[in-house]
Structures are given as structure tokens and as C-alpha cells.
Structure 1
Amino acid sequence: MSHLPIPLGVIYAGLAGTLLALLVAAATNRWSPRVFFLLALRLAIGWHFMFEGFHKIHSHTVGQSETNRPFSSEPYFKVAPGPLGEEMRKAFSDPAAEIATKVKAPKDISPADFAKLSGDAQAAECPEAVAKQLDAVEQLARESVKAEAAKELKSANDSEAKAIKDAGDAEAKAVKEAKTDAAKAAAKAKADAVREKAKTDADKARAAAQKKADSFEAVGKELVTAAKAAYARWVYGVDTRPAQVKSISGDVVLSAPQRLEHLEWVRREARAAEERQSDGLGIGSGTDSKRVAEYRTAAIAAAADLARDANAFVAELKKDLNGGKAVEETPERSLGQRLDKVTMWFLVVVGACVMFGLFTRVACLFAAGFLVMTYLSHPAFPWYPLPPNTEGNPVFVNKNIIEALALLALACYPTGRWLGLDAIVLRPFVKYNPPRHEA
């Protein structure tokens, strides 16, 4: 079955029509091998681009499921070591900015001194970016307090009613079994005591619930303040959180300053490895180069993980403020996500133009440019790690470069006028020159 919502019969018909058009064009040009293989190359590349775009669009149409993951180039660029890698990562998220605004402590206060501060004073030192996010859900915290108060009030009423019913049932049974008036009076007195205690306990629970309901605004603010203080204690090194870091197996509990120290250590290791390589230490083998790339990749991943964990902590605090329910937010689409959407349709449009021979030379140049940009993000340099899902072991030259060179070669020939819509669209503007045939 096809992984696209296109019946296989339609795909087969399209493939057969393409092959037939290629054979007709080759026959028209006296079976020139040059014409045949140039056109075959153009049709193959166009087909590849177009259906790759269709697949990416279809993945978004289906959505997230057990068997489908919507297309995103973020994993590809997450550890891209090439010249464009850093800029493309920033298009999705900027871990350095996240760390600077959410993880680094605004002031220089030691963990011991920070632990001595009051809750309000600790909350005041929460990083501003996080404080704003928590303030934004204060209304949800208030509503959560009101809902909890109503639940407690109902629970108090239900508990009292159950206790009274149980006491009545016990009294009726005891009276029925009693053989003297004294025993009956004792059973009634015991039931009255149980009912009185149930009413007293329920009145206390109702009073507490009503107090919470009446002061829900103040309680909601207190909860937000406590959440800010909890985050600030992690930032200033008082509290720790589970984390996974390079060179340590399993989960460890670390504070934000410890995470920052580990991140700086990974970066120092990466810089030291680069300096050793630039100084000519080692034997200069591919293993040495890959080791440098691994350190560089580890530094990138460590920064991304720290920013992700900080955002996860904020999400947990929001969930607690919302009564244990995750806060539903519509995240703003990043530049990278918008570029992904453009990329999907770009592949379809450019692939169709290459395949059907419409503005063929321009389409070939655009397609080649796209492949060059992809290559510059993840070059096939022997000292860089291979991109995800790479086939084979390319050294300097990979499939992107080969396909880009093929597209540039096609841009040198008017193949769209040999077989394509250019023969119709460009005919009024360009004099037709049929391909010269080999002797």
C-alpha cells in the first residue's frame, strides 16, 4: 500500500504516462541517448522532489499517531554541525537565550543564604521570564482553589449524611435487639453522640472549605508565590531535580547551578578538543576528527536538554497551579515551523515544475540551491557525524551534492522545451532550437 492518500492505480498510471512521454520524446529526437538520459534524469529528480513534498504534507494531514509523526526538520538541525546549523537551530528555539533568561540566577546569592530567605523573598528572585509565565496562570490557580473548596464542601456534607445514616441504622438495629428500656436508651444516646460528632466534624470542614472559597483570590496568589519560590530555589541551587547528563549513567539530581557547571564543562571539553586538533596533536585520523565532532555535538545537546528541562519544570508548576491538569496553551509557531510548511510546498511546486518542464531552468536552480543549503547544515565532512538516516558512508560528497550537480547540469539545457510545458509557455519568447543529434 502507498504511504500517501493516492491510490496505487493513480501512481502507476502517472508513472506509466511519464515513461510513455519519455519514450515519445526520445523517438521524436531519433533516440538520441543524450536527450533520453537528460530527460530521464529530469523526470526522476522532479518525481523525487514532488512525492517527497506530498509525503511531508500528508504526515501533517494525518497528525500525530502511533504510526505517523508529522514532518519536522528540527531533529535534523538539532545537532547539525555545519555553517548553517546554528542559525537553523535558532529558527526553532534558542537554547542559549532560554538558559540566559530562565536558568541563570539574576543575582549572585549563595544557596545557603538563599535558603534563609522568606518564601516571598525567594519568589521575588524568580527569573522574570518564568515569573511572567506563572503570573499568567494565576487566574487558573484561583479557579482551581474555588473548585477544590466546592469539592471539600460537598465531601463534608456527604460525610455528615453518611455518618448520620450509619448511626441511624446502628441505632435501629440496637433498639430492635435491646431487651430492656435501659439498653434502648443507651443505644439512642450512643447514636446521638455519633450524630453530634459527625455534625461537629462536618461544621469544621465546611468552615474551612468556606474560608478557602471566600479567600480564593488570596490563596491563588499564595500558590503562585509558592511556585515562583520553588523555581527560584532550583535556580539558586537550594533544591535539585532529576536530570540526565553526559558521562553519568542513569538519572542524577542536580540544581540549576550544577547543570550550568556541567554544561560549561562539556563546552570546555569541546574547545579543548578543537584546540588539540588545531595544534596538530594526534595522528589527524578520522577518529580524531569524529571525537572532536562528538564533543561539539554533546555541547549542543547539553544546552538543548537544559533549556528543555527548565521549560518542563515550568510546565509542572503550571499543572500544579491548575489543580493537576496540564495547562492547555497554543504555542506560537516558531520560524522553523513556518519554514517547514514552506519547505513542504516548495518541494511539491519545484518538483512539479522540474517534472512537467515548466520554467525548468529556474526550477532546477531553486532545487539545487535548496540541496546546497541542506548540505551546508550537515556537510559530509569526515570529521562531522553523519546526519540521521544517512545511507552509506559519504566523505565530502553525499547524495545532496550529486543531485545538486545533476540539477545544475539540467539547468544548462532547454529540456523543458524538449519535453514539457516550456514548449508552450516560452514559445512566444524564445526561438526553438531542437537538440543536436550525435552523428
Structure 2
Amino acid sequence: MYVIKLFIFLQFLYVYSYGIQFDYIKLENIDKNNALLKVEKKNKLYEYVIEYKLEKNGYLNDNKLNTNFYDTNFYDLNNEDKQSVTFANSLYINDNIWLDLNFNYEDSLKKSIDNSIGLFSENKIYKQQSLAKLYFKHNSIMTSKLSFESINSNSNINIDTNGYRNLILKDKNKVSFDTKLGFDSIDVYTKIYQINDNYNKFYKDIDSDYIKNKNNISRGIELTFEKDFFESYLISSTLFRENNYYDYIYRKSDSNKKEKIDSESQGIKISIIKSFYDNLKLAMLAIISHNKIKNSNRKDLIGNKLKDKAEKQLNMNLEYKIKKIKLFSRLTHMSSRYANENNSKKLDVYTIASIGSSYYTKVKDKDIKFNFDIKNIFNKKYFIDSDTHGESRSYFFNMIMKF
């Protein structure tokens, strides 16, 4: 089936290439389950890359690979068919104006069988993503950028045996305008943006059904000052302010809930990156903010703090490299924050530390990387937010080989 799809796509490219001569065409990983086609074209005025990828994945609960969905009668089985198309294009209008365009389309079909209870389910997922950036270099010190980004996805889960259905639609659209002023002594960045985020869920089973809608609009502005001292310290500070408009609707046959919250957040981010030597680096990010609910359909919430929003945060990363080994440690600190908009319950302060290492080597001219991490080394109990427990101490080891 994949070979047929690739053949059709190649025919399309063959017709399209009558007007445009490709610089690069590559077809790889051809087997009955996976394939990748990549074409590329570059010249002085534009460049673009097109990728068409097909994947088929499956596994049994006994860890034996299986790509034929109906080959088993005894094991739980998961199977996924996936295809994606990526288009990246750059257009150079002149030395001072250029345009970047990126598009990605992805769809997959996941099927599952739980033979212990005879349950069959499938999940159809579609995702489209587009990103456009227009750059304009005004002069030797100033560059501006206008960006448009859109992400649309939906997930449709069906379980035939019990009439269950779960449809989730997500849309996220962002527009931003950025400028950079590069002076000899300091770089100055500005950003103005708006983000529209919509979440819609339709749930249905034998006993009940409901509809959940979440709409969120964020508008913000940022001003950043960045300075590199002696090619050793990179220090930046960002002043930010954001207004957020949240609208939540829950509909069920016997109940309805509606909530509107308008909030404001403002504060400062300070980032410091210090290179002690070529092999030792320290990175730190501190955030101090203030947030409050400005308006709501519930008058008792006005003036309260937002839930799950820590007003003081600190992240530190230390990295040391010696020959083929990299050692690193991470520290995350989060101040107390409220667990609800009523501000009746607080989540405790927490500090989490993690350590790890990586080892790089070669086997028969192939690069191999070994990773070993210990997360939450002091086994601290904490909440990430009001609904989510933090991860307890855990150990992670993996190996990555490039072919």
C-alpha cells in the first residue's frame, strides 16, 4: 500500500518538475512498513524542501514486533499507520526582505485490541501546522519579524463494543511582531503577540455524554535587554506583561457550567549563562511575577490570584564535559501557589534536583550515545499543579545509535 502511495506522489513530483529542476531527490528506507521521500531545490532567490514520510508501527504486550494487525489471537495489540508531508520554503525578495514558509500535515490511525475483555478501539488523529515569518532588515542595526503560526488537530477515539466516543478538537493561532536592535554595547528585543487557543471535547458512552469547550486569548508584550560580557557571561533581562481571557463551558444532559476569567500577569525574567572554561557551563533562569484576576462572572474571584501560578521560579543547570563524557545537574525551585481560584488552598514550595551523564563512543564507525539520569534524587513529594503529582525518584538509562 505504501509503495502505491509513493508511486502516486512521485508521479505528482514528475509532472511538477517539468517547470522546476530539482537539485536533490532521495528515496530511502523502502520496505513494506516505512518509506521517506525528500526533494530539495536551492538558488539565489529561493530554496525549498519537501518531505513525504510513511510509517507503520505495531507491538504486542510481550514486546514482539508485529506489523500485521490481525495476526494474533492471544495478546493485546497496538498498531499505527502514519503519514506526513512537510514543506519548507524560503523566498529572498532582496538583501533586506525575506520570507520563510513551513507547512506540515500529519495523519495517523491507531488500532488497539485488548483480548482479555474483547475490546477493540481505534483513534484517528489529524494535525496541520503552518508557520510564516516575514523578515525586514531596516538598516545595519535593526531587524523586524512578523510571524503567523497555526496548529489544528483533532483526535477521534471510537470503542465499538460499548458505544464510547471521544472527539477532541484543538486550534491554536499565534501572531507576533518582533524587533531586534543590535548596538555595540547591548542588544534590545521587543515582542508583541496574541495567542488564540481553543479546545473542544465531545464525549459519549452508554450512560452519559457531555461537551466541554475552553477558549483562551492571550495578549502580551515583552522587552528584553541582552549583553555578552567578555565572551564569558551572557546576561539578559525581560520585562513582560500579559492579559488573558479565559472562557469555559461544560454542558451535560442534567447540568451546565460556565466560567469566565480575565486575568493579568506581569514581571521580570533574568537569565545568566556563564562559561567558566570550554568544558564547564552554568545556566540560570529566575522569574518573578505578579498575577491577579481582574474580572469574572463570579464576583467572589475578582482580585484573587490565579491557580497553579507560581510567582517565583528558579532553574539552574550545570554542565561539565571531559573527553567523551558529559556530566550535568539540574535544580528547579517553585514557590507556593494556590490550588484553586477561590484561593482557599495552597500548594507547598518544592525544590527538585536531578543528575545525569552521557557517554559518546563509536562502534564500527557508528556513533553511539549512552544516557543515565536520576530524577528527583532526594525523592521529594510535590504537586506540579493542583491535579498532578510530581514524579518520585526515578532512574533512566538508554542508548542511541545513528545508522
TM range (shorter): under 0.3
Bigger relative contact order, structure 1 or 2 (CA pairs below 8 A, ≥6 apart): 1
What is the TM-score of this pair, normalised by structure 2?
0.18
Computing the radius of gyration from Cα coordinates, the structure with the larger value is 1
- Tell me the TM-score normalised to structure 1 length: 0.17
